[in-house]
């Protein structure tokens, strides 16, 4: 990280209270959780997305499900 970003981070009240490492761990965990959710949503969209169809076994059920929010 560049020096300016670290200075801004270190100036934050929460960082001073719980520590830089704790805040960075939480930020990394949140990032990875959002990334995984996007990967799952993209996999569903790729497998079942528009123009893919669900096959003959599911004819008539196409609009009964709900997509998870991204």
Q: What is the per-residue pLDDT across 10-46, written as a single tens digit (0 to 9) for each?
A: 999 999 999 999 999 999 999 999 999 999 999 988 8
CB contact at 8 A, 41 and 68: yes
pLDDT at position 26: 97
CA atoms of 65 and 12, how far apart (whole Å) = 44
Element (H, E) at 55: none
Using a CB cutoff of 8 Å and minimum separation of 24, what contacts does 35-38 make?
A: 37/70, 38/70
pTM of the shown model = 0.62
């Amino acid at each position: 990280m560049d020096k300016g970003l670290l200075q801004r981070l270190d100036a934050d009240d929460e960082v001073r209270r719980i520590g830089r490492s704790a805040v960075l761990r939480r930020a990394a965990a949140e990032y990875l959780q959002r990334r995984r959710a996007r990967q799952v949503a993209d996999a569903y969209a790729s497998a079942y997305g528009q123009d893919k169809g669900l096959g003959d076994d599911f004819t008539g059920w196409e609009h009964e499900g709900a997509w998870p929010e991204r």
